[in-house]
Amino acid sequence: MMLTIALAAVQTILPLLPTIGGDVEKVIAWIEDVKSAAQQTGQWTPAIDAAYVAALLATRQNQDYQPD
The answer to the question of residue 20 lying near other proteins (CB under 8 A) is yes
Least spacing, CB of residue 47 vs other proteins, in Å = 13
Q: How many residues are recorded in the chain?
A: 68
Least spacing, CB of residue 63 vs other proteins, in Å = 7
Residue 30: name the closest of 21, 40, 18, 38 by CA. Answer: 38
The answer to the question of residue 52 lying near other proteins (CB under 8 A) is yes
Give whichever of 5 and 47 is closer to other proteins, judged by the CB atom.
Answer: 5
State the binding string over 28-47 for other proteins (x if CB under 8 A, else -).
Answer: xxxxxxxxxxxxxxxxx---
